[in-house]
Structure 1
Amino acid sequence: MSTRILAISRMEMTIARRNRWLFMATLIMVLFALALSFAGSAPTGSLGVDRLTVSVASMTTLSVYLAPLLALMMSFDAIAGDVERGSLALLLSYPAGRGEILLGKYLAHLAALAIALVVGFGLAGAAAAATGGAGPESVLALLRLIGTSILLGAVFLAFGYMISAASGSPTAAAGGAAALWLVFVVLYDLGLLGAVVIDSGGTFTTSFFPWVMVANPADAFRLWNIASTEGVALATGMTGVAASLPPWAAPLSVLAWLFIGFALALAAFRRLEP
């Protein structure tokens, strides 16, 4: 990797530590993961699975909401803030291309997000395993959850950079990030639910619904984790949807959105004039 990219990443990581972003993101993940893990572990006996499996199912739902939110909170100001502070012109004067600058910033924020997710889910998973048992399958499900959560966060980091580069100010970028989170994480599923209710078990529900669902990176992440572990699928009650899709559909959707998001962010950044 280019030394220029690493230098920019180190600088951005220093800024994240100074602004307490790393500490706050980690604290949020630890508190929410621990609370939801134990609050959602009640059905272990009736489902016949260990506590860690049910905790992973609960933390999967948490990650759908929290990983994109943390990623957008970290990234919406990454470029728009530099423009407002006047530091982007100085940064562009360095002997580094715009792609290297963007990648350096992106890797620093991704590392900070990954630390928060690993610590938060790791501590919650360890606590669930210590109090309710864990098998090899549930441990693997936890590791998969951490890895896929980092990928989901990477997707929304790219979205945040795209919005930050395309917005004229941090305020506009914050509004755009909030709107994007609402669309992908909340409104998309509400729209699908309404379509299923109107369809009443018709062609859309039986043939198109799983594919439309997996087209959303947040839902694709959820289905990826559900389809990979039978116990998690049982705990979430989404076995039917997960089984109706080929195993490559959800991973392909998340990875495709990652590349699309970063390409759009780079295109917006290259058009930006400080």
Structure 2
Amino acid sequence: MPRFDPLPDRRPAFVAGASSGIGAATAVELAANGFPVALAARRVEKCQELVDKIRADGGEAVAVALDVTDPGSVTEAVKAATAELGEIEVLVAGAGDTNFGRLAEMPTDDFDAQLQIHLIGANRLMTAVVDGMIERRRGDLIFVGSDVALRQRPHMGAYGAAKAALVAMVTNLQMELEGTGVRASIVHPGPTMTAMGWNLPVEKIGPALEDWAKWGQARHNYFLRPADLARAITFVAQTPRGGFIANMELQPEAPLAETTDRQKLAVEEGN
């Protein structure tokens, strides 16, 4: 007899921050793998464009308006998604933005805004769906973290602090939810080519890049693609009962280095 009942074939997913970047790619990837998906974001019109594409490709999806800094918006978004798709089985908490700047120069309100989005917003989403998951004795809470939470980076102190606090929250969830059947996971992207942060003015981006190089945090110029993270998040959601992915970190692979004369000689000798 199996230790756990298998996951149901139909598992509605709620993706916060689905209008662009990692969230959009994750929604598309989940839908392609058979998950009914609610795409949630402030830019609901962008979500609707993706919904139309998903439906055209044979998937099931709806778009809902969501502002994670507004408790009422979170409640209404989850309510609307549930009415359209059924009880939420998978939450992907990926809403967010970033604000580059040195901590000593950043207004406290700007610092607080990062906490509100990445930590408090993620908590609101979790509390909106977790009771139902506990009642059904299954469910996946998947949080999008950041490698900045693991290794702090200059000019991203507010973002990094929020993401580090998110790690603490998810770790506590893993302990407190043990035995309920609800799994809490966090996926940490390394540098990823999205619009988040990179639409800031050059006077903010330039000093950040200089300091990253100084601290050895700019080893190469390759970036992950949103689709790379989407595959990882979908893998977490598809993990069979009996195990769960507690933490996952993805980093961009460096460009291939030029082959040295010694390497060429070794290949020739091997032939």
Fold-level similarity (TM above 0.5): no
TM-score (norm 1): 0.33
- TM-score when scaled to structure 2? 0.33
Structure that is richer in helix per residue: 1
Higher strand share: 2
**Does 1 or 2 have the higher relative contact order (CA < 8 Å, sep 6+)?**
1
